[in-house]
Structure 1
Amino acid sequence: MSLWDLSGVAHGCRFPPLFASHARAVASQREVRIQLQLIVGRMSVICITAIGVLIGVSTSASGLRSGVRSQVVPPAHVATPAVATDDARLNIAIRMLKSGDFEVSATTCRTVLKQTPTIDRAAAILGIALTKQKKYEEARPYLLRARDSKQSFAERTHAAHFLGWCCYHLGDLACAKSAFELHLTVALDEPDSMFGLGLVALSEDRLDDADSLLNKALAGFSAPVVQRNDQARVLVRLADLALRREDVAGAEALLERAIAATPTQHEAWAKLARVRDRLGKHDTADVARANERRILQALGRTVAPSPSATPEVAPTPIPNSAPKSSPTTAPTTAPDTTSPRSVP
């Protein structure tokens, strides 16, 4: 029997039955492989897409993080450079101020302020130096700055005092009064600020207030340390007060006390001469005028003689006065700082 016979040709099949069954099996396997390939292909596409999405997200996130980092603000706790509040050269300016070299002191302060404008201490010392040179208008803004400063420095305590004198000499009595009062809140009973308030009261015709304040100042200049020059300043103003009250004899006594304290104050001699003229004491008035001229000549200044003066009158010998107190002698309430001493 041939293979053809065994394949079942007799059944009418194109292929023998054995081969037909095998062919179907092969076709089925091929179909399965194709389906698997399709599935694998679809899975690959899905995986590739997913990977692409993930890569894109990662790239976007990295870019976002980079952007955030580029905009990060430095932490608040990072220290900023400190504002300069002092300069060693200002100690030299203080020494110059105490020795009477006011212009050198002022120049030093201006140099410091030009290089470091934030230093309020330099403004304070400059304001004091200018006040000592009677440059009141120029001194005022520096003393205002020192008075209002939030920085800590010794001279700030007395800025209001010198501001008071600036305002007084500039005719701003309200500013002078508030400045002197402010100073007295930090330098209790400081006699020179009390003296300033007394002059403000005298200028405003508050005679009783002036009397009280000037006498308090006189007491402050008399104890615990006697300050003769300052005593004389106050006594001369008390004499002015007496004249405002028409007490000419009382004014003469006060002026004599002022001269006894400091015989070299030409203002006291000049006022004494006028008072004695009013009292009819012309001879002694001429002596007082002669002494005034003698002092002014020693200072390199001249004064025209009074018509009532007797030329041949010899000046009264002037005893050696007590040593002058330094123009920057420390105040009684703050002995280690620049003094509020200013001659009005």
Structure 2
Amino acid sequence: MQVNTDKPVIGITTGDLNGIGLELIIKTFSDNRILELCTPVIFASNKVINFYRRLSPEYTFNFTSTKDMAVLNYKQINIFNCWEDEVPLQPGVLTEAGGKYAVRSLMVATQCLKDGQLDALVTAPIHKSNTNVADFPFTGHTPFFKDKFGAKDVLMLLYNDKLRVGLVTEHIPVSKISATITKELLLSKLAIMKETLIKDFGIDKPKIAVLGLNPHAGDDGQIGTEEQTIIKPVIDQLRQAGNLTFGPYSADAFFARGSYTEFDAVLAMYHDQGLVAFKTLAEGGGVNYTAGLTVIRTSPDHGTAFDIAGKNIAEPESFREAVFQCLDLLRQREEYATNTANPMKRGRIEKERSTES
């Protein structure tokens, strides 16, 4: 899906206009070396960009303005003007306008991605309180992309160089988690995880750990039966089919003992079970990836951070890593497609990896 250049064209959404997203974008792309790797297209407006550029004066951020994806400067940052409105900006304040234009940026960028005008997309954080409205009835980016690209299912996968954690359930109340987890849902999430580890991360025979739902993974049915009736039968079914799927593990001991280092990825049953551990271990450098799509979409592993917005103190590490990982995923997927089209080459690579391991 290359777009008129040897470098991939990467779309960037603003996130909430009053959050830290635009500050992170300016700090990340002020390093001109990134232009050697990709052509960034930021879906915003010149006025919004200039406002945040003034708040970070020590960063040099030059750009080209356009309203036509067919007219890009492949040697510079491009601002695709999605609106001309005078938007009231209040860094650190949750406002209706901040969410409205975050959705506008996301919608326009996603359509360009669907139309093949972008190679991939990196999204800055949005806030559910001002985006979950009639024209955006989603709890976050992940269900939005699932709907927009017509995917049967997707997997929220957060990762860094130490750990990959996928979630069975995402942004739902804790009271609804148990009823949501079914054998069918687990099989779907594990299938997506296995496929993405092979296709997007180059792991030919992924080894996956599955966490239990209850404390101590149910303690043989003494603290809940979901492990016995749902989770373990799924693991057994996959093991019998030749998959390297193990568990269910007690979440606290699994992370405390460093057992995650023995696996290529971990499937957690719910948001905080997996992400409290992940964000502690990632130390601000994690990336959120929507697995299961035909396209590549990444984001930083944090939210809008209103408490520090507009103060020029936000650290761009996670956002910068989301951009780099977006590019790596594109390359890996292209390599997989090439090797799949050439079975002999694929076989040689698998043999080499097997020997190395």
Please classify the TM superposition score into its range, dividing by the shorter chain length: 0.3 to 0.5
The structure with the largest alpha-carbon Rg is: 1
Normalised TM-score (structure 1): 0.33
Higher helix residue share:
1
Normalised TM-score (structure 2): 0.32
Q: Which has the higher contact order (CA 8 A, sep 6+)?
A: 2
Higher strand residue share:
2
